[in-house]
Structure 1
Amino acid sequence: MDERIVDGTFRFRLLGETPNGVLLKYLKSQSTVFSHELILTAARAFWLSEAYLYFGVKQDSDLKKKVQHMIFALEDRAAYLRMMFGIEPRPIFRCGDSSSDVCSLPELEEEEVEQEVQTVWDSIPQIETGGL
């Protein structure tokens, strides 16, 4: 991988009352160094492994350690959000006692399935056209 300094600039123009607009206003309200670190921390947690794989770094112990840090950051943030909003953790998979047992999704009522689908749908970023 190239070891030289990498310059980067991100420019966004968003509608202010959308979730992305509110987020951008929040980031702009913070100090520049802090807002840059917030952005990079989030990007690392989600995309660092893909970046390394893209540049040819495969499964080695250093990458595995980085991925473990990514998972920790995501789990830590999820725990913080659950605590802040009083949301109980919900198991996603139920597995048997043996490592060879197949994991299955928990049984859900039809209303719960619809709510889960809506939650996933709502989490998909919408493309903002700026009024086009």
Structure 2
Amino acid sequence: MSNEKESAPVSSGTLTQKKILISDLLHEGAEKGTTLAELVQLTGEDERSIRRRIQAERKAGKLILADCKNGYFLPTSTLDIQRFISSMSRRSREIAAISHAAEDALLKMTGQETLWGWQNG
């Protein structure tokens, strides 16, 4: 990939330099996506830090989209955004279902321990 975003200056993390936004490093369109590994190379930061920065930018209203095949990218159409919303909503429901299952398991475990202790004093 050769374009102006690849040659963009990357902050060294000093207080005197403004940290470049992850969204400024991304391209429009899934086919021009940037992988997490590429973002690590571009920024010099670790994966966790980059994910947190992406999350913060998304919360601030930046439309940073992603897919498993291409990585992170900016939308080119409303369809891209609709697909992303559907994907995130599905993911949210899956996480909620897993959380509820864990809560149920905890209640069962707690209930069994309480009953066992009560009966066997």
Which has more radius of gyration?
2
Report the TM-score when normalising by structure 1.
Answer: 0.27
Instruction: Name the structure with the higher strand share.
Output: 2
Q: Structure 2 length as normaliser, TM-score?
A: 0.29
**Structure number with higher relative contact order (C-alpha < 8 Å, ≥ 6 residues apart):** 2
